[in-house]
Structure 1
Amino acid sequence: MVNNEINEKQRKHLKLLPGVDHILEKAKTNSLFNDIPKPVVIKSVRSVIAKRRESILGNNKIFSDSDLTDASILFDVEKLVQEDMQSNLKRVINATGVVVHTNLGRSLLAKAALENMAKIAGGYSNLEFDLLNGRRGSRYSLVEDILCEISGAESAMVVNNNAGAVFLSLDTVAPQKEVIVSRGELVEIGGSFRIPDVMEKSGAILKEVGTTNRTHLKDYKNALSENTGLLLKVHTSNYSVVGFTAAVSLEQMVELGNKHRLPVMEDLGSGTFVDFSKYNMTKEPTIQESVASGADIITFSGDKLLGGPQAGIIIGNKIIIDRIKQNPLARALRIDKLTLAALEITLRLYREPEKAVKAIPTLRMLTIPLSDIKNRAEKLAKLLSDIEEPDFNKSGLSVNVANMSSRAGGGALPLLDLPSKAVRISIAGMSVNSIEKAMRRNDPPIIGRIEEDLFVLDLRTIHNEELAFIVSAIKQIIKN
């Protein structure tokens, strides 16, 4: 008897369920769909009707007749269409306090770099055309002069990322040759990419020396052979070994390399043109210092502490850099015009380091005074505390400003704790995981942290113009 009753309801609901063509005709009268590509509308209509049919047949939902009306179905179609038309790559608000956040796009570009990208993207350019001589040119030349100027290097080129820069350099300089590197410098970067793996793919032969915590100059000397092709130093930018340690300086390696006529390469990883110790931060080797040491090849990223677009920068000895430029793999690893447009302007800002610190968002966030962060945190806390919503009991929202530690991120300055201020939020009757999920699904998404069962917004990485979005998101959560 029960099964017959259910089957009868199923038959009734299936009969009431409108067809795809019928809903498409109804959609034509809705102005919302006027600018939506027809395939998107068709896909959404089919999906909504298919899900209703599946639920009816599977008894997954108790339907009323109103759930099967044209208006009800079109409402769900509208939501699906809006989701489909949104870009998969979205701008998010980084409230984590991690400045160079790898998962959130790493460095933010300076305003001048963005403007130059838009200008180049909207027209033709001299990407590979020599305007002076009227013949084919090289895209490397567009940033080579400025790189050499601010670093002191003889020559330079740029590829798509630093892993590519390391790979291309090894493939050019030491194919089937031994590359001597300290065991303590065999780093792994994000995505499980490891220096030994990159080296193997390049055709170079890894020769480890020393131990994890201590490597001496004699270790390099004892490892030299007729098949040695390169001495490699890898800056451990994403971790630090402390305690009973010893390492060979780049200057010592260069001296050893010169004595045995061997090139020396340093992979800085997250390279910087700024001496952060001037801002009461951990000392990082600067690119200029590496060049001054006499290293033949230096590689580093463009989108970490440099504060530019994703790029792998190679600078150093002109004879060797010219060889790297001629490697056929360079074409596979080359960067596009938009990257060059952003990188050139970012590099030009470094002509005046003090201005660069203010103009380049990554540097500005790393060096911002704590008092400025505190003011911004107190402003956000007040805006949240002043929220007025009908039927909302203010005692349900708890907001307070607390001390917090930010991070540089991006595999840089691993031991550095940056004093910061955060706004901590809790909502009565709502779990912190639910708050995090709602903020993450906001438009724009707001990515924060969970600590001590509270949702935490670190103001170091939140800009003034983003405060309104946060307040709006909390209002929406309270309404729902």
Structure 2
Amino acid sequence: MNSSPGSRPPSVDTALSWPGIQALIQCHGRPLVVDAVRAGLQRWRDALISDEQTLLAEIGHTLENWLAPTFKPVVNMTGTVIHTNLGRSPLPPEAITAMTAVASGASNLEYDLESGQRGDRDTHVEDWICRLTGAEAATVVNNNAAAVLLVLSALAPRKEVIVSRGELIEIGGSFRLPDIMSRAGCKLREVGTTNRTHTHDYLDAINSRTALLLKAHTSNYAVQGFTSSVSESELASIARQSRIPLAVDLGSGSLIDMQRLGLPAEPVVRDVLAQGVDVVTFSGDKLLGGPQAGIIAGRADLISRIRKNPMKRALRCDKLTLAALAAVLRLYANPKKLAQRIPALRLLSREQTAIEETATQLLPALQSWAGEEIDVDCCSTLSQIGSGSQPLDRLPSASLRLRSQHANKRKRSRQLRELARQLRQLPLPVIGRITDDSLLLDCRCVEDPQPLIAQWHIHRFQVEPAT
């Protein structure tokens, strides 16, 4: 192996014979190393590499990048607690233990240990869902969008579904209720107007083709002012008179009264069912504080029809999700300890004084990391629940605020973006938000400041050269 800058690149076979490359093959296998060698030789041909020593280092670096996991923990300092892009609700230790227990070997996922016969995977969570909600039966799929799709497909194929025009929701990822209805094989029948829907609107729309009344909780937006809507109990009365099922999409789906934790009110699943609703759907990874799942609960005969729908198998949960969900549901047996045992609820109900104390602890290390050209201080801010829950309500919080000293607005903006980028590139990435000419790091979700303090002392902000 020689090193002569400007020489022609070696062949693939020649590079593969080098002792250093042979060592990489022993470690990572031949196919992956061959791909890395070819990539490195292409960079040589593109005049980005000019000698064999640099090529070897480049191949090693390429393999490191390819083999590094793209999925990694981050520090959520956005101010949005249940952040869809950052994985929504963190799981409690009990859920992680339960997932580990069934992940490492065989389990009774669909096996009845009493009879020795095939079982149903819903049995691991159904009893607890019914106990906590008052439902007659329940089933679980992989998210709430899937739950709505399955309910529509099972209960109203080729028939009309009546929905208030003010509840034709769209949520993140281009999930639109009219589109879901179309994919489920249903025909949407809109009633009322954007801001006002009345009882007679539903009564006038019901006909021989009507299969379902659907009410969607508008959790991620609010229509205010001259408004009117029909309550669940009123719709339930209409549904009973017309012998048509009523389904309610609750979105976040809280199992407890959030006001007991000092949080904004959200519909409680048990209360909604108690008003005569036949089927409810809600998420497992939002206010419930569990893994991603869509829960369907309600009348036993309707849940039976939903289970028999062929789409149920395509949308079902795996063993890890069911194990985690079952563990979280069991925690609800003791409501008084929920705020301590379920991380999402603990973070949402965290006192502002505790958040301020965390910000104060982090301040010196962040100042050291940012350097003298960046102003860093603590300030009062407002957090939000996230994932479409109570969009207008905010939670008092505290943030670390970074501001550029540049007089030029464009340069200040560029430096803030660079600060945010370098925070994201840390070994433990930190995700904040830029607003009002500042980079804010909300401390509500930081319960242990030590890992952040340690890495801010080691990895310093690299200031851009003056231009």
* Separation of aligned partners in 2, 1:309 and 1:189: 19
- Give CA deviations for 1:224-256 in whole Å, capped at 9, x if unaligned: 112221111110011111111111110111111
User: Contact 1:142/1:344 (CA < 8 Å) preserved in 2?
Assistant: yes
Matching residue's letter, 1:396 = E
Asked whether 1:433 is paired with 2:417, we answer: yes
Q: Return the match for 2:37 from 33, 45, 50.
A: 45
SS in 2 for 1:460: coil
3-state SS in 1 of match to 2:157: coil
Q: 2:434 aligns with which of 444, 447, 450?
A: 450
Could you tell me which of 81, 94, 97 is aligned with 1:99?
81
User: What residue number does 1:4 align with?
Assistant: none
1:413 matched to 2:390? The reply is: yes
Say if 2:6 and 2:50, in contact at 8 Å, map to a contact too.
no
Q: CA deviation at 1:461?
A: 2.1
Shift in CA distance, 469/306, structure 1 to aligned 2, threshold 3 Å: farther
1:475 is matched with which residue: 450, 460, 466? 460
CA distance in 2, matches of 1:438, 1:38: 35
Deviation at 1:346, TM superposition (A): 0.9
Distance of aligned partners of 1:117 and 1:472 in 2 relative to their CA distance in 1, 3 Å threshold: farther
Q: Which moved further from structure 2: 459-468 or 162-171?
A: 459-468
Give distance in 2, aligned partners of 1:172 and 1:473.
Answer: 57
Bigger helix share: 1
Instruction: Determine if the alignment matches structure 1 residue 354 to structure 2 residue 331.
Output: no
- 1:23-422 counterparts in 2 under 5 A? 23-26=15-18, 28=20, 35-55=27-47, 68-385=50-367, 394-422=371-399
* Residues 359 and 479 (structure 1), Cα distance of their counterparts in 2 relative to 1, 3 Å cut: farther
Q: Find the aligned partners of 1:324 and 1:142 in 2 and give their Cα distance.
A: 18
Tell me, yes or no, if the aligned pair for 1:425 and 1:456 is still in contact at 8 Å: yes
**Which residue number in structure 2 is paired with residue 460 of structure 1?**
444
Q: Offset at 1:43?
A: 2.0
Q: Is the 8 A contact 1:444 1:469 kept in 2?
A: no
Q: What secondary structure sits across from 2:27 in the alignment? A: coil
Q: For residue 171 of structure 2, what is the amino acid of its counterpart?
A: I
Deviations 1:29-85 (A, max 9, x none): 796775333333322222122112112xxxxx6xxxxx6333322222222221111
> Are the equivalent residues in 2 in contact too, given 1:423–1:459 (CA < 8 A)?
yes
AA of the residue aligned to 2:388: G
> Any conservation in 2 of the 1:446–1:470 contact (CA below 8 Å)?
no
Q: Write the distance in 1 (CA, Å) between the matches of 2:224 and 2:457.
A: 45
User: Which string of whole-angstrom CA distances, capped at 9 and with x for unpartnered residues, describes residues 405-430 of structure 1?
Assistant: 11111111111111111112246688
Counterparts of 2:454 and 2:385 in 1: how far apart (Å)?
24
Question: Per-residue deviation at 1:14?
Answer: 4.7
Label 1:444 to 1:25 Cα distance change in 2 as closer, same or farther (>3 A).
farther
Report which stretch shifted further, 423-432 or 440-449: 423-432
- How far the C-alpha of 1:192 sits from its partner, in A, is 1.1
1:89 is displaced (CA, Å) by 1.9
SS in 1 for 2:444: helix
Paired residues of 1:28 and 1:34 also in contact (CA < 8 A): no
Cα–Cα, structure 1 residues 74 and 126, in superposed 2: closer, same or farther, change >3 Å?
same
Q: Deviations over 1:149-204 (max 9, x none)?
A: 11111100001111111111111111122211110000011111111111111122
- Over the residues paired in the alignment, what is the CA RMSD in angstroms? 2.3
Overall identity of the aligned pairs, in %: 42
Q: Greater Rg, structure 1 or structure 2?
A: 1
Q: What is the SS of the residue equivalent to 2:59?
A: helix
Partner letter of residue 223 of structure 1? A
Using the alignment, how far apart are the partners of 2:405 and 2:35 within structure 1?
Answer: 40
Q: Cα deviations across residues 274-295 of structure 1 (Å, max 9, x unaligned)?
A: 2122233221111111121121
Deviates more, 1:173-182 or 1:145-154: 173-182
Q: What amino acid is aligned across from residue 111 of structure 1 in structure 2? A: P
Task: Work out whether residues 5 and 51 of structure 2, in 8 Å CA contact, stay in contact via their aligned partners in 1.
Answer: no
- Structure 2 CA distance for partners of 1:287 and 1:207, relative to 1, 3 Å: same
CA-to-partner distance for each residue in 1:280-314, whole Å, 9 max, x for gaps?
Answer: 32211111111211211000111111111111100
Normalised to the residue count of structure 2, the TM-score between the two structures is: 0.91
More displaced 10-residue stretch of structure 1: 211-220 or 40-49: 40-49
Count of aligned pairs between the two proteins: 454
Contact 2:401 2:440 in 1 (8 A): yes
- Structure 2 gap ranges (5+): 407-413
Q: TM-score, normalised by structure 1?
A: 0.89
